[in-house]
Structure formats: C-alpha cells, structure tokens
Amino acid sequence: MTDRSTMLPAGTFDGQTAIVTGGGTGLGRAIALELAALGANVVVASRKLENLEAVVKEIEAKGGRALAVPMDVRDPEQVARTLQVALEHFGAVHHLVNNAAGNFICPAEKLSVNGWRAVVGIVLDGTFYFSQAVGRHWIGLGQGGTITNIIATYAWGAGPGVVHSASAKAGVLAMTRTLAVEWGRHGIRVNAIAPGPVDGTGAAPQLWPTEEARQRVLRGIPLGRFGEAEEIAHAAAYLMSPYGSFISGECLTVDGANWLQRALF
C-alpha cells in the first residue's frame, strides 16, 4: 500500500502491527491511515463500530490490512481482549498509539463527578491500561516496541474550562516520561505528541462551538492557521519509526507556536 502523501519511505512499517485507540475518527483515523500507507497492519479500536469499519474499508481499498475492534479503554478486560484479538489476527503487535480521549468545555466549579470520571477514565486510566497490557506482553517476549500518547499543551500550561482533560493529560505526560525510563532497558520507547488546535476533528465542535470562538482560537495561532490531522499523523509515524529510534520520553509539540501565546480556547 503506497501513498505519495506519506512522510516516510514506503514500507517503513512493513510486517509490523499497530494498535490505534480512538482510531475511528479524527487524529486516530489519520494516524491509522498513515501507518497503513507505510505498510503497517492496523488495529483500530474505539466504542463505535461503524466508525471503525469505515476506516478499515478505507485502508483495505488502498491495499492495506486493518481490523476493527469495538471496545472501551476504561475496561481493563476489554483492553486485554483487544490485544489478544490483535495477536490472533496479525501474529504480533509492535506499536501502540493511545489516542482515545474525551473532552468538553466546562467551568471547574460546574463540572460533575460523572464528567470528571468519564474524561479521566478514558484519557488517564485507558492510557495506562493499554500501555501496561502491551508493555507486559513485550517484556514477557523480550521484544521492544513503541508507545505514542496523544496529549495536549495544557498538560503543562493551562486550559480554562478543561480541568478534567488537563489533569488527565498531565498525568499521561508524567506516565510517558516514567515508562520511558522504566522500560527503556526492554527496548520500549514511549513518547507523546501535543497537538495544537486541529480543525475538522470530533473534538473541534466541543472546544470552539461557535464561529466567534473559532476565530478567537485562530487569532491565537502565530502561524495563522489550524493544524491538519495528517500533520499529527506524520509526527506520530516519525516517532514510531526507525528514524526516531533514539527518541524516548519526549513530547513533540505540533501546534504552530500556539501554546507560547497562552491563547487556546
């Protein structure tokens, strides 16, 4: 499967398998398509089967191999089952992209317990459950691998109205660095990507719900435009590839210098 729009050489991930959570839409979909175009077998996992099946069809139409696994990352048993299904279908797993997320704008004083638990459960708990599952598998086999976590710049800055997501993403950033140090001796690389405002994703209507809000966000991006999902996918592919083989414990910010102006939503 080849695609001239890919960042890396064709066949970079030939014979390798990647699991992408939240792989049915937005950034997850773009990353799944990028990896498949570079030769990877891709397992896309999220709660909505119809979204996953659409991605699988898109990949297969271009000659790639993909598998849809409907699941909820907040459930460790479903995480374990997804890994097992991936192993049974493709024989091995080499990469994990923790992209599943939930977010919405809400003042901290109005945030419900359920709202807090839902976002932290998906972002922080789900990332750990999946990372631990693949980490245990790789360590048991004596096999290396890569884990790439999708976070946000407010993990270290500030994002008024997203205290639930910011707290969870900050935890994932700490997890990224901790696991990179702890598992480096096993040949496991763990990195993160912090995208800036990316238009056209499922999160966009939640984060800038009106045209006025959209323009306000746009004015805060020094490069003068929103990011594209494919640009995040290119960054992920690089970090996962042999070209990034000495990068671990790092967070790559891809946001047009937006966070430096502290103007997000």
- pTM of the predicted model, to two decimals? 0.94
Q: Which of 129, 154, 238, 243 is catalytic?
A: 154
Instruction: Give the C-alpha separation, 197 to 226, whole Å.
Output: 6
The CA distances from residue 72 to 28, 76, 77, 106, 205, in Å, are 15, 9, 9, 23, 22
77-130 tens-digit pLDDT? 999 999 999 999 999 999 999 999 999 999 999 999 999 999 999 999 999 999
What CATH superfamily classification does 17-256 receive?
A: NAD(P)-binding Rossmann-like Domain (3.40.50.720)
Instruction: Give the C-alpha separation, 113 to 180, whole Å.
Output: 32
Instruction: Give the pLDDT mean for 15-23.
Output: 98
- Residue 5: what pLDDT? 64
Residue 238 is a catalytic residue: no
- Residue 134: what pLDDT? 98
29-72 tens-digit pLDDT? 999 999 999 999 999 999 999 999 999 999 999 999 999 999 99
- Residue 262: what pLDDT? 60
- Residue 204: what pLDDT? 72
Residue ranges covered by each domain of the chain: 17-256
* Predicted confidence (pLDDT) at residue 217 exceeds the cutoff of 90: no
- As given in the structure block, the two tokens for residue 181 are 């140090």
- Residue 228: what pLDDT? 95
Instruction: Give the C-alpha separation, 102 to 224, whole Å.
Output: 26
